[in-house]
Structure 1
């Protein structure tokens, strides 16, 4: 039984439907416009921690006469930065004729001067793509119509659409370079290092989105070099396989040379050789577009622009597609963030920031953190391109504070203020309203007050900028699994495939942990810099496939005394689907099989009975000194066992693939992690109220989140430095987030 210490607790419970009083100062004011920099944990200005609060503000939509007053509104809400697209189609309407002066919508320099006078940082977004509900996604009409060969194509050779171009087509890169040669001198002139406001330059926008949202990956033959021995695709395969015999062995084909190798149509194949071939093309595609962003970075740097560069992943599901970009551009002078909308129209998963959205948000922010970036949401929804379903103040409040609870260290509101579309260039309506906090005519809307709450909180609690989330267990991140939906569509000949493992990690292990009010944090399994920390148990949701490097890292962790729960299978292949049994052998060579003998298994893990599962796997030939923890009642097959390794750690195998749905899932995971020594930091009696405990020095803040459509109540205790603090009973409204300062 856990002892409850009777310790005075200062509880400052804030119902976030109440505004903070007079938060007129900026949240972490820039230090005399010192360069904006970042560590792996937070942003800095002049070496001092800064919480980046930015608002999207389009000079080509907002009337010049309103620029200053609306910038001041952002500052009054606590903002310290604005972001703007610099649309190519506006500034080069005719090929070869660039214009940056004249009408309001082209006066980029006037806008930047005003931002500088107001003391705001600027994130410049020159593209080449902008999207932003502009014609041709912000590209010039002449580019897409005059040069149709630039268009991205599906594997049948058909165009996706007129505005979806092939990023690495040589002619496209040539035109982009001319655009950058025109716009980058202006950007350089107004960078922070030259006395201007531009603190960061974003490369392109949501790269690869224009392909995957409109058909598939790109198969433009000129870009990919199909049929050419020195083509990009051929060169990728040469680098990976070295010889054409190795390719044919991997693909079960008989190609005569690398130039003859072609990608397969993306359909639900089941053979390992076909899936390997599709995966190779996907990996090539991701690497190619890392090269594209690196080329853009070179174009920018060639103009002596020395501020940090950035890019925005289109959504949490696409973060993993940028793994190669992170490897190429690093995390020192390049920042990767993510966009994270919860609705843009009625086809979205939800109209509100639901618990499912919250779980994906935590995962997304953690993916950025473990890559070494301060978690930045480059487009945090301040509205929606659709007026129905609307973004309400209540929903926005829950969304923003939930992001704060889960580790967001900076954000850009898309959009902060609406305006009028340039004549004939908008794709939605002539009025670019977007439901923004500040409307097209300058009207203040209810969710403007929510931004003030955030700004006021940071102003009053600057220590929060450096606050870290307390965790009591780890979840392993395998980035390869996160993008498996591009090449794995059926289980095929696998016991459990990569895409299934990623889905189970999110909707099973992570969601159960959050409902149990555990505090999971993530580890990058591709790295080995974490294996010395054996203070918390590690959950790894595995498929049949795991790289040799990751398998060896897990073995090193266990040898150091680390405790591991691996579920629902143990890998026996590497990331390229070749045999690799390092981890399996270290764990005593158990044989894992699919429980397919019965239609309705009845699985028990110790005292947790009849656990609902989507799939089950059982182990035979387990180590003789292993302790059986769970069986299927029908077949008596071993579903779960614990194996304590001499002079090393303990491993639990759990052969259940589950979608979180029942209290039994909470009881099961809680029991197993306690067996592995987890010291749970938060105890909450309501699985629908999620929590997050953050700490900076002697400051502790506990967030309570009800993202359901009905009011909730919960009793919550938290454990700090071995002492349990009773925070009492909390009542939360529907779509409500509160915080408790615990001292």
Structure 2
């Protein structure tokens, strides 16, 4: 039985962290399947995921082989059963779209040839450059049903509730992505008819369009918009497509359930990273939010490719997780269905190579934020088989990548251990050792929430000739989310703030909290009103960006500016001969004069000026509003732990975790469970060892001594963990496993005044031994400290007596080991 409850994945009554690896059976020779799965098991993974591509299983005559009649690699059941034989769960991804660098994104060539009406044109009727389709076209749905009728009966008897190992089924893949990346809405005649009915319901006779929906000229109005209605059309298309995608997923789920897929979660894969950046990721949330948000039995999974783990990457990843969670209900967990793995050398030309620690650092951050499933994509590479029909496209193989595929994967195309295999396996084993508490812990948050304005990400459709559409999309893209230059989020993370996000179109921030919001000139009236109401009721707001002055459709909207009695001038940008710089005042000072990319003149009638240009023109203000306050910083500021921490402190929000390091690079957060367990998460993304003091809830940890955090490393340190009957109150060692009555630790982090230690709760007898000293405290706590930082530490613990006894009576023992320092 599989349950999604309290943001946990509960399998047969036990909360789990599912660690999966993507292995494409169709890219691996049948006789090599077992060797690949043995490497999966060796790495410590507990599940395998795989696309099941329609284009591979359908033959040129239209028949479908999923049993291996024509090729042994087409025997899907055999592969799933081999996974089961090794105790591996299976995540099925049958499409119909699968992407995976396949021709037609996984749709058979025949479908396009026989049903040309499903292929959309975009703006001005120009054919779309991608192989997308009108998802709800009757012919496409009928073809999809035919595919599901072939593949799902293979999966149904193997579902986990039926005694099998299939624990999740993904419906389609990256829905809406192809239209977004090409800026080509799926404007088929069928879609335009549906859109016409939607517009009629929304507007009635008050519609902003010159032609009656569905009447003469309607197609031209949508495909080639005039500036008169370009603004409303951009907004309407975004809203409409959310509903259409939701209808599509309902159709797929209904087909699957009709065919017997029940009792396991259905997954939706959220796309959105682009060019190594995670900033556009919420575009995928915006497109697909109605396909899964608050719907029982549905789970969303991130799909991210951002390269090397850096402060920039980790800031993006933190936002991805926070924004995904903001639209989930109280039960829906965070998952990642495509978690970038490997060395980064995707083209096998050594153009790039990630540090092997990259996957570990990203994994640790995601788990600290509550991810319950991570699927490393691609875990094992393979060989793209030839197509069964000649299409004369240069290689006539299943994929456009050529013969070898997955050259960056931890396991290479020929089954060899890749550059990142050992590091990935080390990461998975570390997660497994900490699974009992990670599976039930949630991140603790300070009184800070990052504002998610989902409509600011509805920027996937804009006519290239429309100045209004282009202006709106440019403004929204520059200022949304983490703020320009990621200044908001990166600064908060470096300042030790732990925060989630609030979906501002749907709910208000927590009463009394500080809302942190990146926004530009375009901000919906309803959102402006919600921001104002939050401040008037005693909340506080930190807003980075120019003064909002337009609604999303381009119409004037000054709700926030009017509430603040705030006048403003034009945005002044840098140029080849002008270098705007700003100076801090009041609580923001001292802060060095800093060059910025732009600044906007603000003309406040009340409150304090906290930022000006070097000539004294205000561009940052702190304005009282009702019982609360709004700080507006109207300049393209760089990330600054000092400035933004001062801003949040002035607004009454202090960081629950604070660190002191000589250079940026350490990210900290804490997690806790309902039964009182707690952990500190430390991640050093820099290439330098950083001494780090940690203050938690106002108290210095480790008596104020600095932890020596190695470069490119991460740790889960106990603040109260129940491990095999012993409570670890605190310390500098991460649990590495419980085996044969022993608790193993990773090498302890050292302190600047000596070796690290672990504190064990009262009620535990610690036996003396070589290599460590035992220090009892008056409250019964016992501290164990290694004498030689490089030596293995073995501590024997008897849980029967609260006294430190060198000669205890024989009884049950617990062995705690600390392996050698790296």
TM-score by shorter chain over 0.5: yes
Label 1:95 to 1:207 Cα distance change in 2 as closer, same or farther (>3 A).
Answer: farther
Label 1:474 to 1:530 Cα distance change in 2 as closer, same or farther (>3 A).
Answer: closer
Larger Rg over CA atoms: 2
- Cα distance, 1:562 vs structure 2: 1.7
Label 1:475 to 1:433 Cα distance change in 2 as closer, same or farther (>3 A).
Answer: closer
- Cα distance, 1:478 vs structure 2: 0.8
Give the number of aligned pairs: 675
Residue of 669, 678, 682 corresponding to 2:653: 678
Instruction: Provide, for residues 670-707 of structure 1, a one-character-per-residue CA deviation record: whole Å limited to 9, x for no partner.
Output: 22111111212212334521312122245544444443
1:707 aligns with 2:681: no
Secondary structure of the residue aligned to 1:129 is coil
Which residue in the other structure is 2:199 paired with? 237
Which residue in the other structure is 2:514 paired with? 537
Label 1:150 to 1:438 Cα distance change in 2 as closer, same or farther (>3 A).
Answer: same
Counterparts of residues 442-481 of structure 1 (less than 5 Å): 442-461=415-434, 462-472=436-446, 473-481=448-456
Residue of 394, 399, 419 corresponding to 1:426: 399
Residue of 585, 600, 603 corresponding to 2:582: 603
Which residue in the other structure is 1:22 paired with? none
Partner Cα separation in structure 1 for residue 716 and residue 108 of structure 2 = 48
In the superposition, the TM-score normalised over structure 2's length comes to 0.75
Which residue in the other structure is 1:274 paired with? 230
Partner Cα separation in structure 2 for residue 141 and residue 356 of structure 1 = 40
Give yes or no for contact 1:488–1:499 (8 Å, CA) kept in 2. Answer: no
Residue of 77, 82, 85 corresponding to 2:51: 85
Which residue in the other structure is 2:527 paired with? 550
Cα RMSD after superposing both structures: 3.2
Residue of 284, 305, 309 corresponding to 2:261: 305
Instruction: Provide, for residues 462-486 of structure 1, a one-character-per-residue CA deviation record: whole Å limited to 9, x for no partner.
Output: 2122333333332211111123364
Give yes or no for contact 2:90–2:167 (8 Å, CA) kept in 1. Answer: yes
Partner Cα separation in structure 1 for residue 571 and residue 414 of structure 2 = 63
Secondary structure of the residue aligned to 1:130 is coil
Instruction: Provide, for residues 593-619 of structure 1, a one-character-per-residue CA deviation record: whole Å limited to 9, x for no partner.
Output: 325499554432212353332222233
Give yes or no for contact 2:544–2:634 (8 Å, CA) kept in 1. Answer: yes
Larger proportion of strand: 2
- Cα distance, 1:334 vs structure 2: 0.7
Which residue in the other structure is 2:323 paired with? 367
Secondary structure of the residue aligned to 1:657 is coil
Partner Cα separation in structure 1 for residue 135 and residue 663 of structure 2 = 46
Instruction: Provide, for residues 139-183 of structure 1, a one-character-per-residue CA deviation record: whole Å limited to 9, x for no partner.
Output: 212223344443333324343357333323332222112111222
In the superposition, the TM-score normalised over structure 1's length comes to 0.82
Give yes or no for contact 1:420–1:432 (8 Å, CA) kept in 2. Answer: yes
Partner Cα separation in structure 2 for residue 232 and residue 497 of structure 1 = 30
Residue of 411, 414, 418 corresponding to 2:377: 414
Give yes or no for contact 1:590–1:619 (8 Å, CA) kept in 2. Answer: yes
1:323 aligns with 2:289: no
Label 1:42 to 1:453 Cα distance change in 2 as closer, same or farther (>3 A).
Answer: farther
Which residue in the other structure is 1:589 paired with? 565
Residue of 330, 338, 341 corresponding to 1:379: 338
Label 1:105 to 1:701 Cα distance change in 2 as closer, same or farther (>3 A).
Answer: same
Partner Cα separation in structure 2 for residue 581 and residue 696 of structure 1 = 42
- Cα distance, 1:203 vs structure 2: 0.9
Residue of 598, 617, 629 corresponding to 2:600: 617
Which residue in the other structure is 1:31 paired with? none
Give yes or no for contact 2:199–2:207 (8 Å, CA) kept in 1. Answer: no
Which residue in the other structure is 1:632 paired with? 613
Secondary structure of the residue aligned to 2:428 is helix
Give yes or no for contact 2:128–2:184 (8 Å, CA) kept in 1. Answer: no
Instruction: Provide, for residues 272-310 of structure 1, a one-character-per-residue CA deviation record: whole Å limited to 9, x for no partner.
Output: 853333333343334322322222122212223112111
Which residue in the other structure is 1:189 paired with? 157
Partner Cα separation in structure 2 for residue 604 and residue 198 of structure 1 = 59
**Which stretch has the larger CA shift, 482-491 or 77-86?**
482-491
- Cα distance, 1:193 vs structure 2: 2.1
**Which stretch has the larger CA shift, 730-739 or 167-176?**
730-739
Label 1:313 to 1:84 Cα distance change in 2 as closer, same or farther (>3 A).
Answer: same
Secondary structure of the residue aligned to 2:27 is coil
Secondary structure of the residue aligned to 2:379 is coil
Secondary structure of the residue aligned to 1:616 is strand
Partner Cα separation in structure 2 for residue 433 and residue 484 of structure 1 = 32
Which residue in the other structure is 1:314 paired with? 271
- Cα distance, 1:658 vs structure 2: 2.6
Which residue in the other structure is 2:188 paired with? 221
Secondary structure of the residue aligned to 1:173 is helix
Label 1:90 to 1:504 Cα distance change in 2 as closer, same or farther (>3 A).
Answer: closer
Give yes or no for contact 1:152–1:211 (8 Å, CA) kept in 2. Answer: no
Partner Cα separation in structure 1 for residue 229 and residue 699 of structure 2 = 53
Give yes or no for contact 1:689–1:714 (8 Å, CA) kept in 2. Answer: no
Give yes or no for contact 1:693–1:700 (8 Å, CA) kept in 2. Answer: no
Label 1:158 to 1:609 Cα distance change in 2 as closer, same or farther (>3 A).
Answer: same
Give yes or no for contact 2:292–2:300 (8 Å, CA) kept in 1. Answer: no
Counterparts of residues 23-38 of structure 1 (less than 5 Å): 34-35=1-2, 37-38=3-4
Partner Cα separation in structure 1 for residue 51 and residue 381 of structure 2 = 14
Instruction: Provide, for residues 100-139 of structure 1, a one-character-per-residue CA deviation record: whole Å limited to 9, x for no partner.
Output: 2223211112222223333322111111111223332222
Which residue in the other structure is 1:508 paired with? 487
Greater relative contact order: 1 or 2 (C-alpha under 8 angstroms, separation 6 or more)?
A: 1
- Cα distance, 1:509 vs structure 2: 1.4
Partner Cα separation in structure 2 for residue 115 and residue 496 of structure 1 = 47
- Cα distance, 1:645 vs structure 2: 4.4
Partner Cα separation in structure 1 for residue 476 and residue 265 of structure 2 = 34
Partner Cα separation in structure 1 for residue 301 and residue 556 of structure 2 = 36
- Cα distance, 1:581 vs structure 2: 4.5
Secondary structure of the residue aligned to 1:320 is helix
